[in-house]
Every structure is written in C-alpha cells, then in structure tokens.
C-alpha cells in the first residue's frame, strides 16, 4: 500500500495521473501537469536565468518531468509539440540556449525575453 509517508509528493501525483490515464482510458479528463520554473530549468535551461539550479539543489531532480510517459500531460512539453504554432521558435531557442549554457554571454537579453514571452503566452 502506498502512502505519502513512503512516497514523495511528486511520485504520488505521477501515480494519480497514471492511474487516471490507465483506468479511465477514453473517459479520462484532460490532464495537464505544470511544473515550477526551477523544474523546467533543469530540462530546458535558460542561460543567465536567476532561477538556475545551483549548489546543493543541483542534485535534486524533478524525476518525472523528463520521463517520456509523462510528456503527454506536461505543459513544458506540450508547448513544444509540432501542433503548437509557436513550438518551432521555442525549440529553436531551446537549442540556442543549450549550446550556450557554458557561454551565457552569447545569448542576448532580448533573446531571453523573447522566449520567456513565448512560454508565458
């Protein structure tokens, strides 16, 4: 038996969404999971972002955000799907940011603001 004392809160949420999807199948309501900015920055980092994961928190992984079976409900992946009209631009910036993670000076403030505006819209 699973209880919140022996499972993390994130694991409990993942288990609930998985049970909804598997047991209700076509009757399952649309589920969208929204992670914190810090969790998103672990998978889709933005150079020079003030919420970059540093120090002791760097080892803490948001274990479910980057698992394939949860991409269909994770907002951070849904906005990057081909069906989203802004996804091509968002993925282009993801690629730019990933390539310049060690050289943040190669990314302008305008580029960071532009992609943040896309994600917020």
- What are the pLDDT digits (tens) for 46-62? 887 654 545 444 455 55
Distances (CA, A) of 91 to 80, 104, 115, 117, 119: 6, 18, 10, 14, 11
Q: Are residues 61 and 98 in the same domain?
A: yes
Kindly report the backbone phi and psi dihedral angles of residue 3, in degrees, each rounded to the nearest multiple of 5, phi listed first. -130, 165
Task: Report the domain count for the chain.
Answer: 2
Residues 20 and 64 in one domain: no
Distances (CA, A) of 104 to 5, 7, 45, 62, 97: 41, 37, 11, 24, 8
% the chain with pLDDT above 70: 74
Where is average pLDDT lowest: 11-25, 56-70, 96-110?
56-70
Token pair in block for residue 34: 């929204």
Instruction: Check residue 14 and give its pLDDT.
Output: 78
What pTM was estimated for this model as a whole?
0.70
Same domain, 92 and 74: yes
Whether residues 107 and 92 fall in one domain: yes
- Give the pLDDT score at 61: 55
What pLDDT, on a 0 to 100 scale, did the predictor assign at position 70?
75
Based on the fold, state whether residues 65 and 104 are members of the same structural domain: yes
**Whether residue 65 is found in the same domain as residue 101:** yes
Looking at the fold, whether 37 and 70 belong to one and the same domain comes out as yes
User: Per-residue pLDDT averaged across 76-103, rounded?
Assistant: 91
Q: What is the pLDDT of residues 88-98, one digit of tens each?
A: 999 999 999 98
* 38 and 17 fall within a common domain: no
Domain ranges, residue 40: 32-120
């Amino acid at each position: 038996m699973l209880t919140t004392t022996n499972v993390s809160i994130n694991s409990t949420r993942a288990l609930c969404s998985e049970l909804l999807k598997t047991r209700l199948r076509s009757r399952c309501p649309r589920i969208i999971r929204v992670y914190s900015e810090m969790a998103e920055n672990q998978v889709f980092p933005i150079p020079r972002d003030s919420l970059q994961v540093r120090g002791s928190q760097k080892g803490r992984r948001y274990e479910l955000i980057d698992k394939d079976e949860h991409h269909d409900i994770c907002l951070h992946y849904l906005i990057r799907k081909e069906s989203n009209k802004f996804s091509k631009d968002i993925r282009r910036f993801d690629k730019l940011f990933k390539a310049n993670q060690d050289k943040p000076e190669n990314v302008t403030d305008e580029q960071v603001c532009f992609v943040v505006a896309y994600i917020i819209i």
